[in-house]
Amino acid sequence: MLAFLDSTAFWVCFGLTYLLVMLYFSLRAMPRGVDYSGPERTVEPSEIKFIYDLSWWEDDQRHSEQQILDTIFGLVSQAEKFVIIDMFLFNTNKTQDGDYLPTTRQLVDLLVATKQSKPDLKLFFITDPINNFYGNYEAGPLQALKQAGIEVIVTDINQLRDRNYMYAGIWRIFLQWFGTKGKGWIPDPMASSEGRKVTLRAILKGINARANHRKLVLCDSGNTYVSLVTSCNIHEASSWLSNIGFTIEDPCIALDCLRAEKAVAKLSDADLSIRIPEKKEPGSIKVRLFTEKLIKKKLLNDINQTQTGDEIKVAMLFLGDRSMVKSLVKASRRGVLVDVVLDQNLQSFGMEKLGLPNQVTAVQLLKRSQGKVRLFWWNNEHDELHSKLMLIKQAERAIVYGGTANFTRRNVGGYTLELMLRIETGITQQIIADVEGYFERICSEPYTYLADPKTKGSLRLSALYYLQQLTGVTTY
Least confident of 5-14, 241-250, 412-421: 5-14
Q: Is residue 16 part of a domain?
A: no
Nearest to 311 by CA among 445, 432, 169, 214: 432
Together in a domain, 219 and 314: no
My answer on whether 217 and 116 are in the same domain is yes
pLDDT tops 80 at residue 107? yes
Average pLDDT of 171-181?
A: 88
Residues 187 and 323 in one domain: no
Are residue 335 and residue 457 in the same domain, yes or no? yes
Shared domain for 386 and 247, answered yes or no, is no
Distances (CA, A) of 257 to 300, 417, 473: 23, 13, 31
Host domain of residue 192: 46-267
pTM greater than the 0.85 cutoff: yes
Is 276 a domain residue? no
What's the mean per-residue pLDDT of the chain? 93
Check residue 363 and give its pLDDT.
96
The mean pLDDT of 329-338, rounded to a whole number, is: 98
Q: What is each CA distance from 185 to 178, 188, 282, in whole angstroms?
A: 16, 9, 59
pLDDT number for residue 212: 97
Residue 314 domain-assigned (yes or no): yes
* pLDDT over 80 at 193, yes or no: no
Which pLDDT score, from 0 to 100, does residue 241 have?
97
d(CA 249, CA 269): 29
Q: 10: part of which helix (H) or strand (E)?
A: helix 8-27
Rounded distance between C-alpha atoms, residue 427 and residue 27, angstroms: 40
Residues 315 and 414 in one domain: yes
When pLDDT is averaged across residues 359-388 and rounded to a whole number, the result is 96
- Is 4's pLDDT higher than 60? no
- Phi and psi of 84, rounded to 5°? -120, 125
Q: Is residue 405 part of a domain?
A: yes
As for how many domains the chain has, the answer is 2
- Is pLDDT of 32 > 60? yes
Q: Is the model's pLDDT at 2 over the cut of 70?
A: no
Structure confidence at residue 280 as a pLDDT band (50, 70, 90): confident
Q: Is residue 27 part of a domain?
A: no
Distance of alpha carbon 254 from alpha carbon 250, whole angstroms: 6
pLDDT at 31: 93
Chain centre distance of CA 318: 10
Is 51 a domain residue? yes
CATH number at residue 404: 3.30.870.10
Cα distance between residue 210 and residue 83, in whole Å:
26
Residues 6+ apart with CB under 8 A from 80: 118, 121, 220
Residue 290 domain-assigned (yes or no): yes
Helical pair 358-368 and 322-333, crossing angle rounded to 10 deg = 30
**Is residue 402 scored above 80 in pLDDT?**
yes
Contact present, 231 and 43 (Cβ < 8 Å) = no
Whether 155 is covered by a domain: the verdict is: yes
- Residue 339, phi then psi, degrees to nearest 5: -115, 130
What mean pLDDT is predicted for residues 133-157?
A: 94
- Is the pLDDT at 13 greater than 70? The verdict is yes
User: 184 and 290 share a domain?
Assistant: no
Q: What is the DSSP string of 394-439?
A: -SSEEEEEEES--BSHHHHTTSEE-EEEEEEEETTSHHHHHHHHHH
Under DSSP, the state recorded for 388 is E
Model pLDDT for residues 413-471, shown as the tens digit of each residue? 999 999 999 999 999 999 999 999 999 999 999 999 999 998 888 999 999 999 988 88
Measured in residues, the chain has a length of 476
| pLDDT more than 90, % of the chain | 75
Three-state DSSP at 344 gives coil
Sign of the Cα pseudo-torsion (65, 392, 425, 257, in order): negative
Rounded to an integer, the average pLDDT of 345-374 is 93
Candidates 169, 208, 420, 390; CA nearest to 295 is 420
Looking at the fold, whether 201 and 309 belong to one and the same domain comes out as: no
Helix, strand, or coil (residue 279): coil
Distance CA 123, CA 83 (A): 5
Last residue of a domain, one of 267, 299, 314: 267
In a shared domain, residues 257 and 329: no
Residues 101 and 180 in one domain: yes
Q: Are 262 and 292 contained in the same domain?
A: no
204 compared with 37, residue with greater pLDDT: 37
Closest C-alpha to 28, from 244, 172, 230: 172
258 and 312 inside one domain? no
